[in-house]
Chains A and B, each alone.
Chain A
Amino acid sequence: AQTVTQSQPEMSVQEAETVTLSCTYDTSENNYYLFWYKQPPSRQMILVIRQEAYKQQNATENRFSVNFQKAAKSFSLKISDSQLGDTAMYFCAPPETGNQFYFGTGTSLTVIP
């Protein structure tokens, strides 16, 4: 069975600052995808960023970037220049196993004005 760990239940960051959310996972696969999703107060799940395991380069989407360490099975999300709209729950989605998706427990991020 696969596992995913988000060790930070809650975090806060000052507006315009940088914050990093951690995620570790376990998998026996070699080629896979990893995702970070955010869930704002509206509860709509939104894809933040995707990383393909076979790519050594870390994925970047505007202010969002990942630090992907395949050997360590670590997939952290860095948010730069934090904005109030970044306040949300952030979920790490580990490699899909057997056509099933399991999310981490989530990190509640609050951006402080």
Chain B
Amino acid sequence: GAVVSQHPSRVICKSGTSVKIECRSLDFQATTMFWYRQFPKKSLMLMATSNEGSKATYEQGVEKDKFLINHASLTLSTLTVTSAHPEDSSFYICSARNIFSYEQYFGPGTRLTVT
């Protein structure tokens, strides 16, 4: 199946700093990528839908100025958590969608810890 990489897998940062998470589709072009947040033992919560070459669509309650999403190419989307706070600590997962089969291929996730 298709491969999606996510980097870094783990990151610890200090409160007030910004962190960038990269999501790459390695063997197919993804016009649409998704960013999710997952709390322990909970489901994936959709944060935003990232479309190549256009602005991301954010879910209700997700601050677009805090969670900056850039989808500058067909293989790369980035999520930047700006001015991170401890409550932003979470597991973030990206996915890329196959436009023909509608399947989502997921990255391995990023564990963010804000101290």
Contact = CB atoms under 8 A, between A and B. Distances in A.
Partners in one complex: yes
Interface of A: 33, 35, 37, 42-47, 50, 91, 93, 96, 99-106, 108
Contacts, number: 54
B43 A100 contact: no
25 contacts: A33-B102, A33-B103, A35-B104, A37-B104, A43-B93, A43-B108, A43-B109, A44-B106, A47-B105, A50-B103, A91-B44, A93-B104, A96-B102, A99-B32, A99-B51, A99-B57, A100-B46, A100-B49, A100-B59, A101-B95, A101-B104, A103-B44, A103-B46, A105-B42, A108-B41
A44 B108 contact: yes
Interface string B45-62: 010010100000101000
List the 8 closest A-B pairs by CB distance, nearest first. Answer: A45-B106, A33-B102, A106-B43, A103-B44, A103-B43, A105-B43, A44-B108, A43-B109
B37 to A, nearest CB: 12
Interface in B1-50: 1, 32, 34, 38, 41-44, 46, 49
Contacts of A46: 106
Contacts of A50: 101, 103
Contacts of A42: 108
Contacts of B93: 43, 45
Given A101-B46, A106-B43, 6 more contacts: A47-B1, A47-B105, A99-B49, A99-B57, A101-B34, A103-B43
